[in-house]
Chains A and B, each alone.
Chain A
Amino acid sequence: MIKKQEPLTETAYLILLAMLKPNHGYGVMKFVEEKTKGRVVFGPGTLYGAINNLHKKGWIEPCPTKPGERKIEYIITDEGLKRVKEELRRLKEIYEIGVEILKGRGENHDKEI
């Protein structure tokens, strides 16, 4: 039996993408705001909780810090990368379903988006 894929939340998905390079909380916040053109702005409590959870799950890990450095940088792990790729496949699938159905109704989705 194929293990059922758990969809990622938008929060987890975006944080994992932001941590493909070593990144800290502030960097993640700016990355997400910029990439979504201000649509998604993480609250500090949400961002803190999500980073902690992803760390506990082993999908991201802290980078070694330089002495005197306060900010903790994290980087995605192999497991985290696997999850992002799975999520990308899932998003592609539901995206394509949407396009197919809308096209069947004679609507041009590209124009609407």
Chain B
Amino acid sequence: MIKKFKLFMNPVSDLEKWLNKMSNEGCRLIKAGKVFYYFEECKRNKYVYAVDYVANKSYDELSEYQGFLEELNIRHMEKPANLGKLSIGNVRWRPYADKGARIATSSGMINRELLILEKENDGKAFNIYTNEEDKINALKTMRKPIIVIMAFIGLMLLTNIVDFIPIHRWSFLEINLLAQRRMPMLIVIGIVEVLLLINFIRFTLAINQLKREADIHE
């Protein structure tokens, strides 16, 4: 068994590309953890992979979907991705999820954010969504948690910046001290916000491109 450590900027499309590259090198995915992936050797390119984002689904919906995939002879593996969550103990609020799936629990949808699909390579492309509308919706579901985290972090940034505004009762010295102490944290939050913004823009551009396509063909 081969164990690999890997982190992705985009946990859906980049993971998909990497798994197919690994398959090309003769590795078949056995299990996927948060950052570790376990492979076994197999014939090169025997399998193709696709990654679906399922954190918006309820546990029942996911089980139903998994049953359907089994009917189609598609092997599936759950993978934790933990993007976009506010957690209190082991219950998480997911404001971006579908109705009825917004409260995630560890016995339910926590650590079941992604679903890795594997099927035998038949020489054809393996796409989970094959019409423009579905492709757009899939991207929108992935963009939602980004918007939510961006809003929360934006709020944090804002409350920190507000402290910088000089209020008459403060002396100059106090403001400078405050500013110095808060600067490192502000920079970290700022970088996270910018990274999120880049991801948000990437998704939005992809969605808009698909929308233009959808005007002309299915």
Residues of A within 8 A of B (CB): 9-11, 24-26, 29, 40-49, 70-71
Contacts and interface: CB of A to CB of B under 8 A. Distances in A.
A66 to B, nearest CB: 15
Contact of A44 (B72, B133, B138, B218): B72
B22 interface: no
A44 B134 contact: no
Pairs of residues from A and B, 7 with the lowest C-beta to C-beta distance, nearest first: A45-B128, A43-B130, A43-B127, A46-B130, A43-B128, A46-B134, A45-B129
B71 A24 contact: yes
Interface stretch (B38-46, B62-70, B183-191): B62-70
B15 to A, nearest CB: 16
Given A9-B131, A41-B130, A49-B134, 16 more contacts: A10-B131, A11-B131, A25-B68, A25-B71, A26-B73, A42-B130, A43-B50, A43-B128, A43-B129, A44-B72, A45-B128, A45-B134, A46-B128, A48-B65, A48-B69, A70-B67
Interface residues of B, number: 23
Contacts, number: 52
27 contacts: A9-B133, A9-B218, A10-B131, A10-B218, A11-B130, A25-B68, A25-B71, A26-B71, A29-B72, A40-B130, A41-B130, A43-B50, A43-B127, A43-B128, A43-B134, A44-B68, A44-B69, A44-B72, A44-B74, A45-B52, A45-B128, A46-B128, A46-B131, A47-B72, A49-B134, A70-B71, A71-B71
Contacts of B124: 41
Nearest to B74: A44
Nearest to A51: B68
A98 B67 CA distance: 43
Interface of B: 50, 52, 65, 67-74, 117, 124, 126-131, 133-134, 138, 218
A17 to B, nearest CB: 16
A42 B127 CA distance: 8
A42 B72 CA distance: 11
Contacts of B71: 24-26, 70-71
A29 B124 CA distance: 14
A47 B65 CA distance: 11
Given A41-B124, A43-B127, A43-B128, A48 B133 contact: no
